[in-house]
């Protein structure tokens, strides 16, 4: 049985179909979840995709954080379920305090839309479990507020706890320590500015995003093999999708 990924759609989200398609190419199943839904039943992992949730009014992610679905997303995250925020999704995760720091406007006030060379910094996250540390991936970025910032003690914590997931080889936006993606302490919540779904087909110029999405599917299929335990990801035993669904449903 394949892994099912819930792709949350807020008003103004615009990358959900790309993520659904890319997850399928990576061997999983994905379905969209409307932001007003309070349940994530039957979902093994959640992706908050890119776009402009709630118009990015006030600040990117500031209002999306209060959408009804976020209570279930937080419950899934606290239960150890994989939660990945891409671009606007990363901004939402910081506003929801599921990840530290903030995404400020790019250095030089430049909107950046270009392929980015990324380096995998750790394999202790659901997005990079089983991926060789130091491996370089070519994945596009497309953002205005992607300049990750945090106070020095938070940065020290991210480094000490091995929570910097991906770094830019050539920093496109001024982010502190060249950070492209980070995780929570357990490694099951990951936010990144680059778009793996836009590097999922040879026609798009790169398939490197599938490496990350395949790692996510493997992590979701083997929730007990926490990336933090140091154990390699185990393929799904077929016991089923919805491993975290019951937990998330109970949260409502």
Applying the rule CB under 8 A, the residues between 165 and 194 that interact with other proteins are 174
User: What sign for the dihedral angle of Cα 145, 148, 151, 152?
Assistant: negative
153 SS3 class: helix
Among 25, 105, 167, 228, binds other proteins (CB under 8 A): 105
**Angle 5-215-1 from CA coordinates, rounded to 5°:** 50
Q: Is 87 a catalytic residue?
A: yes
For residue 83 the two structure tokens come to 């939660």
Among 17, 21, 52, 62, binds other proteins (CB under 8 A): 62
For other proteins, give the closer residue by CB, 106 or 226.
Answer: 106
Applying the rule CB under 8 A, the residues between 131 and 150 that interact with other proteins are 147, 149-150
204 near other proteins, rule: CB under 8 A: no
For other proteins, give the closer residue by CB, 102 or 204.
Answer: 102
Q: Count residues binding other proteins (CB under 8 A).
A: 18
Are 218 and 125 within 8 A, CB to CB?
A: no
Q: Is 15 a catalytic residue?
A: no
Instruction: Tell me the closest approach of the beta carbon of residue 60 to other proteins, in angstroms.
Output: 10
CA separation (Å) from 110 to 35, 67, 172? 30, 29, 9
Q: Is 113 a catalytic residue?
A: no
For residue 250 the two structure tokens come to 């109970």
Instruction: Tell me the closest approach of the beta carbon of residue 153 to other proteins, in angstroms.
Output: 12
Active site residue: 87, 95, 143, 150, which one?
87
Strand ranges for 153-234 from DSSP E: 164-168, 179-183, 189-192
Are 68 and 38 within 8 A, CB to CB?
A: yes
Applying the rule CB under 8 A, the residues between 108 and 127 that interact with other proteins are 108-109
151 near other proteins, rule: CB under 8 A: yes
Among 101, 140, 187, 194, binds other proteins (CB under 8 A): 101
Are 117 and 164 within 8 A, CB to CB?
A: no
Q: How far apart are CA 11 and CA 29, in angstroms?
A: 23
Active site (catalytic) residues: 87, 195, 197
Binding site for other proteins (CB under 8 A): 58-59, 62, 94-95, 101-102, 104-109, 147, 149-151, 174
């Amino acid at each position: 049985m394949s892994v099912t990924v819930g792709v949350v759609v807020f008003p103004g989200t615009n990358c959900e179909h790309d993520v659904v398609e890319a997850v399928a190419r990576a061997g999983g199943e994905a379905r969209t979840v409307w932001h007003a839904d309070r349940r994530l039943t039957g979902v093994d992992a959640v992706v908050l995709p890119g776009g402009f949730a709630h118009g990015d009014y006030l600040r990117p992610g500031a209002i999306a954080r209060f959408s009804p679905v976020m209570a279930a997303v937080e419950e899934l995250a606290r239960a150890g379920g994989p939660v990945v925020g891409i671009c606007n999704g990363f901004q939402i995760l910081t506003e929801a305090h599921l990840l530290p720091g903030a995404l400020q406007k790019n250095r030089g006030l430049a909107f950046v839309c270009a392929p980015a060379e990324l380096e995998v910094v750790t394999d202790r996250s659901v997005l990079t479990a089983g991926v060789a540390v130091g491996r370089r991936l070519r994945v596009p970025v497309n953002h205005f507020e992607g300049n990750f910032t945090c106070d020095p003690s938070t940065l020290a914590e991210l480094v000490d706890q091995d929570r910097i997931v991906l770094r830019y080889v050539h920093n496109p936006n001024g982010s502190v320590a060249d950070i492209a993606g980070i995780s929570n302490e357990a490694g099951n919540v990951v936010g990144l500015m680059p778009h793996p779904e836009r590097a999922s087909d040879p026609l798009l110029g790169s398939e490197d995003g599938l490496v990350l999405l395949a790692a996510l599917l493997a992590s979701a299929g083997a929730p007990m093999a926490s990336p933090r335990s140091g154990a390699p990801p185990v393929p799904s035993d077929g016991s089923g999708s919805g491993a975290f669904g019951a937990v998330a449903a109970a949260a409502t």
